[in-house]
Amino acid sequence: MSPLSPARVNLSLVDELQSLRDHWKWFLALGVAMAVLGTIAIGSACLMTVTVTVVWLFGFLMLASGIATIVSSFSAGRWSGMLIHLLMGVLYTIVGFMIIDTPVESAIQLTLIIAIFLMVAGVFRIVFALSERFTGWGWVLLSGAVTLLAGLMIYKGWPSTGLWVIGLFVGIDLIFNGWAWIALALALRKTPEVKSVTA
């Protein structure tokens, strides 16, 4: 039998599915933990703390990326390539330091960028849906309207929204991802156990 035959491929998929099924409790625990953390994150008392923490970590990522880019720039083959990488690394490092030094002010500025991005993305989705009228265009139109409205609301409340919007987004993302893991775990639990058959 060929190593790439459908029978062997199916056996491999069965083994992988069985392995996932055996660990469904871990997926469930991960999902519950993420959902709980997300719920805590969107609590009114925690929003600013989560926002500042996320921005602070983002600053450290920018700083680490800048240092790595500076180090890697010296391995560039040509001088022009080295100069561009070096300048990018210096820029990332400076921005990272600025974010770490002033996380609250950085959160406010990042929130403004998020608001502008949401408004622009919403307008593009609305225009695209109305101009193309493809199958299901109404959902894209609704999505664009909601995105535009969210951007306008954030922009209208700026700069005070800068103290909680990022934390709210992180909390909502954790909740949705947590429920996705929970759904996967429950689906794996209901999957019938299949014994792999060696060919």
With CA atoms as reference, report the closest residue to 114 among 156, 157, 166, 149.
166
The whole-angstrom separation of Cα 57 and Cα 99 is 9
Question: What is the torsional sign of CA 52, 156, 147, 109?
Answer: negative
Residues 6+ apart with CB under 8 A from 182: 27, 28, 31, 32, 35
Which amino acid belongs to residue 175? Answer: I
Per-residue pLDDT of the chain (199 residues; tens, 9 = 90+): 445 444 454 556 666 666 767 777 888 888 888 888 888 877 765 677 778 888 888 888 888 888 888 888 777 556 656 777 788 888 888 888 888 888 888 888 888 888 898 899 889 888 888 887 777 778 888 888 888 898 898 888 888 887 788 887 888 888 888 888 888 888 877 776 655 444 4
